[in-house]
Amino acid sequence: MGYLTLAGAIAAEVAATTALKYSEGFSRLWPSLLTALGYLVSFALLAQTLKSVQIGTAYAIWSGMGTAAVAVLGLLLFGEGLGVPKVAGILLIIGGVVLLNLGGATH
């Protein structure tokens, strides 16, 4: 159940960060409200996750997968470039998350 709530936390964080881009510096109401709601939901789900998943593992997955997902959305939605360094960074993030999962057990 912990990893399911963590997946929801990641999805909410990615949605909030994407809405943050659309908020244009909090000058647009609806994207700004979606940003606030997304981060609130994300932190609430992350807090629930920490009841069953170690904090280091949960935070690494939450931040790493969120970062990788936002980088991909930046490419798809905002036309951001995708060079070798960015691809390598995303792969390193995913690799780090995998290694943390292999080495960390839930409590």
pLDDT at 104: 58
Judged by DSSP in three states, 45 sits in: helix
Which pLDDT score, from 0 to 100, does residue 107 have? 47
User: What pTM was estimated for this model as a whole?
Assistant: 0.87
pLDDT reading at 1 higher than 50: yes
Cα-Cα-Cα-Cα dihedral sign, residues 38, 97, 94, 3: negative
- CB neighbour class for 87 (10 Å; exposed up to 12, middle 13-18, buried from 19): exposed
Gap between the Cα atoms of 69 and 99, Å rounded: 18
Cβ partners under 8 Å of residue 75, min gap 6: 81, 82
Q: Can you list the alpha helix ranges (DSSP code H) found in 50-107?
A: 55-78, 84-103
CA-angle at 95, arms to 46 and 11, nearest 5°: 30
Could you report how far apart the first and last alpha carbons of the chain are, in Å?
13
Decide if pLDDT at 71 tops 50.
Answer: yes
Tens of pLDDT along 16-56? 999 999 999 999 999 999 999 999 999 999 999 999 999 98
